[in-house]
Structure 1
Amino acid sequence: MRPPAPGGRLEPGDLDRLRAGQALQMDHYGGGRLPFACVQAKGLVQHMVPLDGDDAGQVLEVMDASGGYASACLGAAHPCLQPAFRDGLERGYVTDELGSLERTLLLEELFGPGGRWADRFPGTAYHASGRNSGSEGLELALRLALESGFDRRRLSVKAGREARRTVLAFEGAWHGWTGGLVPLLNRRHYRLGLPPLSTEPPYHLDVAFLPFGEPELLERFFAEQGSKLSAVIVEPIQGDAGILVPPPGYLRRLAGLCREHDVLLIADEVLTFAKTGRFFAMTDEEGAIPTDVTVIGKSLGMGAVSTSMVIARRELSVRSSGAVSTSDLRPLTCSLMRSGLRYLAEERLIERAGPLGAELRERLRKDVVEVFPELFQEVRGLGYMNGIELTERASVGLTALRRRLLEAGVFVEFMAGAGRRTHGLRYMFPAMRIAPPLIAGEDDLRRIVERIREGTRRFVEAGR
């Protein structure tokens, strides 16, 4: 298949192949998948074709404002990754049982003396492990927390830790779909009908939930329940809840409460990694906010591979062979990460995301939220991780809105929103996530906003 340039049409047989190919893939959206297919991409531009309707088969030029679930920080086909593929392939395919030159080079650059992240995670105090995905990384993080209270020699709970079987999570959070992580989601939709974790002592796991970003509720919970906690798992900016940014000081106070009560703090930076104007969102004006385990992913794979990394204090580990993984920092993955991270640093793409992201939010506020108040409530975010919360009216027509945006030449994603929260806090509707690749410059961001506005206008004029 050789797709034509934007404006052209696919041959009928090629269009039928794309339709058949989509039908062969399992539908995870209950019949609500977008009827579009990508046939080519470079940088921020994707060539997409509608699979149904009057324009079926016509190639559209679409700007990527999502980065593929916010994972493709360098866009598509970035030239800095091409040599990395070759080098990584030539360095072998050893697993975690053996050392690796490429793995060594990556970990030295990150955590060794003078390493890129050594001020936050010095190699003398931290070690790292790799996984296929953010969900797998967070499964390992949870296991590290649980094993910290387990006596491996006696195969029993450590003396004095019997009461610490509770993990604190936050309402609206998203940590992954796997069996070990679903209990950390306060949404019944994802949990019902699935086998629960053991609820029998002494190995049971209890999960408590709080609304995110509410300091008084946090203080009260630790005062009442701190002695029962084993760990806290937190996204520094909640993603699926609608890009919720906590108030200043909230994350640092959370870290302080964890230290005071001897509770492990797990930072889920799978989504926030490299998007907020810093590599790590667990940072404030005072500097790095200390964590016991940090999980990064999505952008770490540069849009070329799916990967994650678990960075944990050295005293945290699992029983022998309990965390063996085929995908633990394989040479090819390490080569891609090393090349991409070096490019991000040399071009200062992380730093510029701070001021450019502020400009993006101001454009979104003026040109989208204020123009369509019946559809949008507010814009929130930090750096290149931004969200516009929808109104109830827009939420009902979300699928149609997204199609109009695509037809206007921009691809965005939508987050579920925090929904109904406890303690009398307002209901939070879904949000449009605008998290473009870090290669997006000022002109790119302007065009993205223009296309969001145009797609929204078409949605309004069509009556939905």
Structure 2
Amino acid sequence: MSDLPNLDHYWLPFTANRQFKSMPRLFQAAKGNYYTTIDDRRLLDGTAGLWCVAAGHGREEIAVSVANQLRTLDYAPAFQNSHPLAFEAAERLAQYMPPGLDRIFFTGSGSESADTALKIALAYHRVTGNPLRNKLVGRERGYHGVNFGGIAVGGIAGNRKAFGNGLAGVDHIRHTLDIGRNAFTRGLPQDGGIALANEFEQRITTLHDPATIAALIVEPMQGSAGVLLPPVGYLKRLREICDKHGILLIFDEVITGFGRLGTKFASDYFGVVPDIITCAKALTNGAVPMGAVAVKRDIYDAFMANSPAGGIELPHGYTYSAHPVACAAALATLDIFATEKLEDRAAGLSTHFEQVAHSLKGLPFVKDIRNLGLVAGIELESIPGKPGAAAFATYLKCYEMGVLVRYTGDILAISPPLTIEKDEIDRIFSTIGEALTTLAAEGEAGLDPTRHLKNEQQWVAHQQEIHQQHLILEHTA
């Protein structure tokens, strides 16, 4: 077992820091579909990191590309200058995108991509002579990162309530989850999509002048909120409504991009082409932070045609836009996708993945199972007064048993690397099933986090004891 680092100084994101530091889950290495924990145990990665390691961990091709780039050109100014790899990466990504979305703006993350897309949408209407189109519409339970624009159009209250008023001029439409009608649906729900999409038109017609709406932003499949699937026809109808009223349609594909649904993008899966796509995560296989926004060529051309000669067409960007090392990682990742056809691989595994995921139906706590491509959401019954307790305990139990899953509220989310094997898929879901059965047998006690990860807790206690001894020695010296 490696020494435990000093845990005092790092403030972990989206984490209960005090709880984490009482039983730290730390990784020291990763290869293929597995992590190695700091106490030298192998952990099957059921989440592709945070949806991002689509091609599996420790890819030598990416490591070599990044190392060579660091030795050649570690950084180039992003403003008023650039480097050849930025244009090569943009061209390659444009070729990977759905037809027409071939103008690329690079960012450093999915959050930055969302805010960039919103700013492009607002600025586009201004440069085309429609400055009154300044309202944005998102969706309940939507997740578009954590910058102010993203949390404004996002529909997760917990991500907004601590930070004040946020952006004005934002509305939301209803999310797509209807467990009462569609529980345990395999793949897309068949009913309700058109009516649900029509509510968008109702809302903007009744509460707003449609001519004031700049853009609608949605995740084709809502991932971070717990795998919420669009009913059949829903996204196509949204596209029709946006076209009818001159509203830009933005797909946030930070999670669904790069093979997750068995196609390059969810846009390809659903046969719906938006005006703007945001992406990140698997763009570099999670190796280097990077995001991108792809826009239709006529949007880009409008900025070029309607801006003063010699002027900056879009006053927006980041120090690390098209960072040379990130571009190298992206190109290496796109090469892997092209060579190994990971999208096709995901599509080929999706039926088995679906069957195994739904085998959990009828087990303790299981309220609903949702799946599409290589994504599954397992919604658990919420325990009165203890929201999220069952999912958190299941996550800890699976970790103990050597499988990493993700929990959000009362939902477990499974999204393994696209390099996953069938027997590993079996192991992920059988481990979840065993964990749920064990927790149910233990009753109230099984929900107590301190009953899990005893090794990690002993580790912390030992380190604290050593720390106290050092303090005593320093005091008596």
Coarse TM-score class (shorter-chain normalised) = 0.7 to 0.9
Letter in 1 for 2:139: F
Give aligned pairs, total: 404
Q: Which ranges of structure 1 fall in alignment gaps of 5 or more residues? A: 1-9, 50-57, 152-157, 200-204, 417-429
Establish whether residue 146 from structure 1 lines up as the match of residue 122 from structure 2: yes
2-side partners of 1:261 and 1:321: how far apart?
24
Q: Return the match for 2:91 from 70, 89, 108.
A: 108
1-side partners of 2:66 and 2:200: how far apart?
48
Alignment-derived partner of residue 169 in structure 1:
138
Alignment-derived partner of residue 186 in structure 2:
none
State the secondary structure of the residue aligned to 1:24: coil
Alignment-derived partner of residue 39 in structure 1:
28
Shift of 1:193: 4.1
Percent same amino acid among aligned pairs?
Answer: 24
State the secondary structure of the residue aligned to 2:149: coil
Shift of 1:253: 1.5
Which residues in structure 2 correspond to 1:342-361 (within 5 Å)?
Answer: 342-361=335-354
State the secondary structure of the residue aligned to 1:282: helix
2-side partners of 1:441 and 1:101: how far apart?
37
TM-score, normalised via structure 1 length: 0.81
Q: For the Cα contact (< 8 Å) 2:107–2:317, is it kept in 1?
A: no
Q: Which ranges of structure 2 fall in alignment gaps of 5 or more residues? A: 178-192, 447-477
Alignment-derived partner of residue 370 in structure 2:
380
Deviations 1:226-254 (A, max 9, x none): 33321100000011222111112211111
2-side partners of 1:175 and 1:192: how far apart?
16
Alignment-derived partner of residue 196 in structure 1:
165
Q: Return the match for 2:64 from 83, 105, 116.
A: 83
2-side partners of 1:334 and 1:165: how far apart?
33
Alignment-derived partner of residue 206 in structure 1:
170
Establish whether residue 461 from structure 1 lines up as the match of residue 441 from structure 2: yes
Alignment-derived partner of residue 134 in structure 1:
110
Establish whether residue 24 from structure 1 lines up as the match of residue 24 from structure 2: no
Q: Return the match for 1:265 from 231, 238, 249.
A: 249
Q: For the Cα contact (< 8 Å) 1:354–1:382, is it kept in 2?
A: no
Question: Judging changes above 3 Å, is the alpha-carbon distance between structure 1 residues 451 and 206 closer, same or farther for their aligned structure 2 residues?
Answer: closer
State the secondary structure of the residue aligned to 1:36: coil
Shift of 1:358: 2.3
- Show structure 1 runs of 4+ deviating over 4 A: 158-161, 316-321
Establish whether residue 448 from structure 1 lines up as the match of residue 428 from structure 2: yes
State the secondary structure of the residue aligned to 2:138: strand
Shift of 1:360: 1.2
Alignment-derived partner of residue 222 in structure 1:
201
Deviations 1:104-154 (A, max 9, x none): 33233333xxx344x6236xxx31111111000111001011112325xxx
Q: Return the match for 2:240 from 243, 256, 263.
A: 256
Shift of 1:320: 4.3
Shift of 1:354: 1.7
Shift of 1:59: 3.5
More strand by share: 1
Shift of 1:361: 2.0
State the secondary structure of the residue aligned to 1:449: helix
Deviations 1:352-383 (A, max 9, x none): 212312211211211x233x1x3112221221
Q: Return the match for 1:180 from 149, 152, 173.
A: 149
Alignment-derived partner of residue 380 in structure 2:
390
Letter in 1 for 2:365: L
State the secondary structure of the residue aligned to 2:419: coil
Alignment-derived partner of residue 74 in structure 1:
55
2-side partners of 1:198 and 1:454: how far apart?
45
Q: For the Cα contact (< 8 Å) 2:138–2:170, is it kept in 1?
A: no
